[in-house]
Structure 1
Amino acid sequence: MDGWTRKNGHVQAELSQQEAAVIRGLVGQIKDMLTARADEAPEDELAQLTGIRTGPTTPPEDRVLERLLPDFYRRDPITGDTDEDEADAAGAMRSLHEPELLEAKTGNASLVLETCPKMGGEVQLTGEQADGWLSAINDVRLALGTALDIEEDMPDELPDDDLRREHLGVYQWLTWVQDSLVSALMD
């Protein structure tokens, strides 16, 4: 991939078969994780009557999912204190808003899977589709960064014996893909 370019109101890029496989594979995994979380939503008779969907009141136990679906209140990392006024407010906010967040994230993942050619080739996106790609790639980067314990001061290359070495390369490539797409959208 040489990067995203803007042409005739679209952004486009040429993906090799391997690049398309990496994007499709990782986005597909994120979609599967998010779909499994959505399936955990409690059955709610009131939701069936009103059409208002509710989700779980507790954050995901998996740290990758927790990163993708953070609390709706800020939590002090040292003390654990939040800026919420009531003890159950975080659970109530999560229950109300998580289904919508899951729908948006799985929708973006589906968009990438629909528009990324399985065998590689040209990808041509509208501005709206490009925004969906940005969100989906960002979710993959967040998940991968969490799984790899990526920190700001991490070196660009890890020692040969570090099991995260090859995955870090994928993370860095996705960062470049995302940055290239942002640049093409801003042109």
Structure 2
Amino acid sequence: MRTWIKKNSLSGVKFKSEMDAHEVTVLSSLVESVIGLLEDRESGAPQDELAALTGLRTGNSESPDNPVLARLLPDFQRTDPSKASPNSDDLDDAGANVNGALRSLHEPEIIDAKKAAGRVLLASLPADGGKILLTQEQADAWLSALNDVRLALGTNLGIDADTPESLDPDDPRAPHLDVYHWLTWMQDSLVQALMP
């Protein structure tokens, strides 16, 4: 992949790069996997009779069990266990109720936005590699989709502050860490191009 470049044109600002076919295959596969996870989560939402009558969609009220989905769809409010009294679950219950209500109301829209960003990225990839030319809106969607893919891959790899820059070549995570670093570089390059 080439560094993202900002170009001014008669039709407005464009963001340009280039990918080879192998890179397109890897990125497409990762984005499709994230979209598939989100679709599975969406299809598991309970059916609500009131939602059917009002047209308002509702989502799951429970946090995802899958660690990748939990990272992509985090709780809206975090409870601080240190503030709860030792014999009380009141804070945990209140936090769970707030998170459940907010999740039920907003998760469908969040999933829609994440899937839409992923589809914009997929639609703008050259199938056999080649030049990529994005509008401002497409570039914003790319940033969102790349972030989701990085979060998903980072969660699967267990990446944290203590993860080294490189792993022993015999470590089965080593090639995936290289992909994670590539995604990080790609996202950073696009952010730099988008900056005024």
Q: Which residue among 32, 38, 63 is the counterpart of 1:34? A: 38
Alignment match of 2:63 (pick from 59, 75, 89):
59
Deviations 1:32-88 (A, max 9, x none): 110111111111121111111100110111101110000111134888986884652
CA contact under 8 A between 1:15 and 1:121: conserved in structure 2? Answer: yes
Residue in 2 that maps onto 1:162: 171
Q: CA deviation at 1:116?
A: 0.9
Task: Name which of 144, 147, 163 aligns with 2:153.
Answer: 144
User: Which residue does the alignment assign to 2:101?
Assistant: 92
What's the TM-score once normalised by structure 2's chain length?
0.89
User: Unaligned 5+ residue runs, structure 1?
Assistant: none
Of stretches 35-44 and 169-178 in structure 1, the one that deviates more from structure 2 is 35-44
Match of 1:185 among 177, 189, 194: 194
For 1:144, what is the secondary structure of its paired residue? helix
Residues 77 and 70 (structure 1), Cα distance of their counterparts in 2 relative to 1, 3 Å cut: farther
- The CA RMSD over aligned residues, in Å, is 2.0
Structure 1 segments, 4+ long, off by >2 Å, are 75-87
Q: Which has the larger radius of gyration?
A: 2
Structure 1 residue 31: Cα displacement: 0.4
Deviation track 1:92-111 (CA, whole Å, cap 9, x = no partner) reads 11100100100000010111
Structure 2 residue runs without a partner (length 5+): none
Q: TM-score, normalised by structure 1?
A: 0.93
Aligned length: 187
Distance 2:65 2:162 in 1: 27
Q: Is the 8 A contact 1:5 1:11 kept in 2?
A: yes
Q: CA contact under 8 A between 2:77 and 2:95: conserved in structure 1?
A: no
